[in-house]
Amino acid sequence: MSLFWTEALILAGLIAYILYANRRVMHYRTAMLCEGPLEVTWQAHLFRPDRPELWFKEMTGVTWEDEARQIYRVTYNHGKIEVLIREVEHVPPALLVLEGAYLRSRDQLPLDTFRAESRFEAVPGGTLVTTDMQFVRGALLAGFWMRLFYPFVGFMTRGRIENNVKKVLAASGLTDQSGAVSLAGGHHRLVERIGGWPAILTVVAILWFIIDLGLWPGLVLITTIVVHESGHLWSMRRHGVPGKATLVPFFGGLAYGAQPMPSDSSDAEMILMGPAFGFALGLAVFAFAQSSEASEFWWAAAGMILVINGLNLLPVPPLDGGQVMPLLLRRFGQKVVTAVSLLLVTGGAVLAWWMSSILMLVLIVALGTMIALNPPRGVVRPAMSIGAAFVVLVAYLALVVAHILLVVMITRTLELTDWFEQLMNGPF
């Protein structure tokens, strides 16, 4: 299959899913098996204003709007949306029915409404919680990207409920039970055994890269992505932020933290550590390639590592370079950041069009525009000082120049047109 048709199929699949997730009325069902008694599991689901110990870690507040009518407001640390929730039915410990609406934080614009009906049933091994959810879409463009995650709400809340079950168990003195929560249903159990969606995405990505590029080029690409994302994770953990990473089919890799970085400077460091680790890998392979017995495969591998890693330094959202730029410009105000980000997205789209890459074009336009128009609002921290911004800018430009210089040196030994052929031949 040609690259054009491969990208066309991927694009068609993405469009189909986006349309599916944005239909007018959406119904989803999730089932979770909680390893705790019925009453304990029931209590673990009541993150009300008077139970702050059970609030999810993303919640910054749960406050009563109308206590008599059991209506409360939930705010989150990302600051983009708020949720109004009303307890319609409360039949302990068997039934909990919630209705609510998502509101856009900055102007309180109503987004989607929802109804979630959770039934609790004692079963061998714990409590089965089955939740039927119905979402009714508001304005199509308001909350457009948020709806892409509705089908995965069960996976996204499983860990939070598990933590709450453990808290209630501990408060009840029931330390002989684990409080573990697993997703019920055949395919859900399979996901749990493999290690969750990040693990599945990683496996699919590895298979895709090897099948699409060939064994040796695929392995070089996978190694590059793993080392690159390890740089992001290393910086997150250095600043006390727990993080995870996964390979993503067709796109590369993704590292994400459990909470925002503590400052703009640490955020910039985290972003640049990905390319820095990738450059260190490319430099090591380049040094090995210079040994007299090394095959031309290693020259091509070093070149591929540096080109892939270097492309991530382009100042285009959602690439690493495009995420550093807003941090450098934030002292000039959000309007300037948004305008510059959109300008960079436009430049990136033109570049992708010139390269005839449909996939890159979709990635830059869709994700880049979303990032540019939806800056983080829940994180309050001062902008970088002029001195810190200068250091970050110098580090960024040094990485760009270093990548370019090494790639030029490699092309003097092995023509760019011969890289892929040498990669396919392998190192032996």
| Confidence (pLDDT) at 64 | 87
102 and 185, same domain (yes or no): yes
Nearest CA to 360 among 251, 219, 216, 240? 251
Q: State the Cα–Cα distance between residues 104 and 408, nearest whole angstrom.
A: 49
Low-confidence ranges of the chain (pLDDT < 70): 1-11, 13, 78-79, 155-156, 159, 173-198, 258, 292, 294, 374-381, 416-420, 422-428
104 and 181, same domain (yes or no): yes
Bridging pattern class, strands 243-248 and 71-76: unpaired
Q: Are 229 and 341 in contact (CB under 8 A)?
A: no
Instruction: Kindly calculate the radius of gyration of the chain based on its CA atoms and give it in whole angstroms.
Output: 24
136 and 267, same domain (yes or no): no
Q: State the Cα–Cα distance between residues 345 and 209, nearest whole angstrom.
A: 26
| Confidence (pLDDT) at 191 | 38
DSSP string computed for 27-56: EEEEEEEESS-HHHHHHHT---TT-GGGS-
Select from 194, 227, 256 the last residue of a domain: 194
Q: Are 372 and 399 in contact (CB under 8 A)?
A: no
In a domain, 325, yes or no: yes
| Confidence (pLDDT) at 330 | 84
| Confidence (pLDDT) at 115 | 92
Sequence-ordered list of residues with C-beta below 8 angstroms from that of 35, at least 6 positions apart, any chain: 125, 126, 165, 177, 178, 179, 180, 181
188 and 202, same domain (yes or no): no
Q: Are 119 and 95 in contact (CB under 8 A)?
A: yes
310 and 390, same domain (yes or no): yes
Q: At 82, which CATH number? A: 3.30.530.20
| Confidence (pLDDT) at 10 | 66
In a domain, 1, yes or no: no
Residue with tokens 């392998």: 426
Structure tokens at 189: 């159990």
| Confidence (pLDDT) at 263 | 86
179 and 218, same domain (yes or no): no
Sequence-ordered list of residues with C-beta below 8 angstroms from that of 242, at least 6 positions apart, any chain: 236, 257, 258, 259
| Confidence (pLDDT) at 78 | 65
Structure tokens at 425: 């031949």
Total structural domains in the chain? 2
Q: State the Cα–Cα distance between residues 375 and 335, nearest whole angstrom.
A: 11
Structure tokens at 385: 């000082």
SS3 category, 285: helix
250 and 390, same domain (yes or no): yes
Could you give phi then psi for residue 370, rounded to 5 degrees? -60, -45
Q: Are 74 and 61 in contact (CB under 8 A)?
A: yes
| Confidence (pLDDT) at 211 | 80
391 and 244, same domain (yes or no): yes
Distances (CA, A) of 300 to 3, 116, 276, 294, 310: 21, 54, 20, 11, 15
91 and 146, same domain (yes or no): yes
In a domain, 79, yes or no: yes
| Confidence (pLDDT) at 283 | 93
In a domain, 48, yes or no: yes
Q: What is the pLDDT of residues 342-369, one digit of tens each?
A: 888 888 888 888 877 777 777 788 778 8
Domain that holds residue 362: 197-425
In a domain, 171, yes or no: yes
Q: State the Cα–Cα distance between residues 400 and 333, nearest whole angstrom.
A: 26
201 and 131, same domain (yes or no): no
Select from 194, 218, 244 the last residue of a domain: 194
CB atoms within 10 A of CB 176: 6
| Confidence (pLDDT) at 181 | 52
Question: Which stretches of 148-214 are DSSP H helices?
Answer: 153-172, 186-194, 197-213
